[in-house]
Structure 1
Amino acid sequence: MNAQLSDASTAAEAIEILERDGIVRIPDVLTAEQLDTVSNDLFPLMRATPDGTDEYFAGTKTRRLARLFKHTRGLDAAALSPVFQETAQHFLCPPKGMWYGQDRVDETPTLQIGATQCIQIHPGQGRQPLHRDDSIFYTVHPGKTDAIGMMIAISDFTEENGATRVIPGSHLWDDERMPQVSETIPAEMSAGSAVMWLGGTYHGGGQNVSTDSIRTGAILGIFRGYLRQEENHYLSLSLDEIKQIPQPIQELLGYKASNPYMGWVEYNGEMADPRVVLGDVDGAGLLAGANA
């Protein structure tokens, strides 16, 4: 197979490549300082995390840690990066016209981080089954995507140590075509870089055939704000923990209503933005038109 990953440094480049290939590599998503922060914050936790017990999908020589925004601030910049955000806006948040009586309004949904995991593949771990991330939404292919994933390399990703295997162009396949390992290529990259893929792109963790190299990556899955989160941040993070997280990340974790009304909470008899539960009464007023 002659396919190879293409690199992008801007959202415009990433969008063009994703439309064609369904996956793109973004060099240097994390600075050296941010990479050190993530490593220093997460590696001690990963050493204390047990191996998985799922021989089929999650792996028995793979360790997984969620609630990443509780554990480190080193990933904030990657989650908020223009390349990630603008690319996700393009694919996930096209405006939709809606009638409110005689008024025609274009509404645009928000974005949310639907899943976070630090994933370590240890020597001896076999390949993960190839899958599509948007299968959780029962997405029909081909068609619009319902998710975008970003895997950030915390260590170097090599074919030998289990770099994620991907099938460029598979986002264009229908739901009847079965993915084959022979069609995959390794998403090799240096620590601090990342790959982004559309939810319909087939991929899976690679086989770690090394003797001593642990492959560590942090994955952020971004969804439309009106879809259910894959990782239930409302239950896995307490309100006290959420209050310690910067506001832009709080909003990505679901503490912001998605236009027009999805995710509101009641406040003084009105439909209000969920920021009121964090004490931000002034910044979380009545949702527009919610008193109809």
Structure 2
Amino acid sequence: MDHQNIIETIKDRGYFIIENLMPEDGVQAARDILDPIFAEQRTGRNQFEGFKTQRIYSLPKYGPALWPFFMHDDLMQIIKPLLWDDCLVTAALAANVLPGEQPQAFHVDDGFYPLPRPRQAFSVGTIWAMDDFTAENGATELIPHSHKWGEGEKPEGVLELQDAFHRHEPGQGDGWHSPENAEIIRAEMPRGSVLIFLGNLWHRAGGNKTEGARLGLFPQYCASWARTQENFFLSIPKETVAEMPTVMQELLGYNIHPPFMGHAGGFHPQKTLPTA
């Protein structure tokens, strides 16, 4: 795999798809854990979360079958150079898009870092296809090159992000139309593939017009000096973290970003983990 070519492509157009990266047995092992949880899971509270979308957070705590999706060596060789050569997991969720779901509002993932655009992305998102992603079942929609847009530039004529957060009842056709100032592409890919995209690229989940659900895993990464979206120190028990490989512990924040960012009372944070 030509990691450097993939990195340059991502820098140019904002995203890249690697097809069939996770073997089928790895995908199924993760589904064997997640499918029973989704069977009892509620749907979203607003238009952004999705009134017909189920979500699970803090995925690494559910067991070793989930960890390869976060620390895959090919991903690390692509993502770390995009984030000052070091990264943390900033968000760790799965989203199951059910039949009849409408598209999300277009958004960027690192917009809460309050520095003006254009700028380098402070995060990189990945989406693993746990089902085939198609135009009909809600494949992620992306606006190529939109990570280069300046301050105030955004997709025109579509549902605003803040409106999506404050809409607590479904609205007919919300978000179905395309932006007036940009073309969109759909990240269609077979099960086991992964989409990698910059955190300042405009994108959204598509609408599901099929009779079946569409599941994706969403490991998101940020520069190691940035604050993460999820607080894994609180959401994942230390006993569970202690059982993880070192690289997974580091991605969850049990690491030092040189020279000493992240220390725990002057010691390496891994020293706080229980031992057998």
CA 1:61–1:251 in structure 2 vs 1: closer, same or farther (change >3 Å)?
Answer: same
After superposition, where does 1:7-26 map in structure 2 within 5 Å?
9-26=1-18
Q: Deviations over 1:90-127 (max 9, x none)?
A: 11115xxxxxxxxxxxxxxx311110111011111111
Q: SS of the counterpart of 1:177?
A: coil
TM-score norm. by structure 2 comes to 0.87
1:212-223 aligned within 5 A:
212-223=211-222
2:139 maps to what in 1?
A: 163
Q: SS of the residue aligned with 1:151?
A: strand
Give the counterpart of 1:75 among 66, 75, 91: 66
Cα distance in 2 for partners of 1:261, 1:164 equals 38
Question: What do residues 195-240 of structure 1 show as CA deviations (whole Å, max 9, x unaligned)?
Answer: 0001111111101111x12110000111111211101101111212
Structure 1: segments with no counterpart, 5+ residues: 1-8, 95-109, 281-292
Alignment of 1:191-210 (within 5 A): 191-210=191-210
Offset of 1:279 from its aligned partner?
Answer: 4.2
Give the 3-state SS of the residue equivalent to 2:110 in structure 1.
helix
Question: For residue 174 of structure 2, what is the aligned residue in structure 1?
Answer: none
Moved over 6 A (4+): none
Q: Which runs of 5+ in 2 are unaligned?
A: 157-177
C-alpha separation in 2, matches of 1:16 and 1:118: 28
The percentage of aligned residue pairs carrying the same residue is 28
Of residues 20, 31, 41, the one that matches 1:39 is: 31
Q: CA RMSD in A?
A: 1.5
| Count of aligned pairs | 251
Counterpart CA distance in 2 for 1:31 and 1:22 is: 25
Find the residue that maps to 2:112 and give its secondary structure.
helix
Give the conservation status (yes or no) of the 8 Å contact 1:11–1:82. no
- Please list, as runs of the form range in 1=range in 2, the aligned pairs for 1:85-164 lying within 5 A after superposition: 85-93=76-84, 110-164=86-140
**1:226 alignment counterpart:** 225
TM-score (norm 1): 0.82
d(CA) in 1 for partners of 2:241, 2:72: 21
Which residue in 2 is equivalent to 1:62?
53
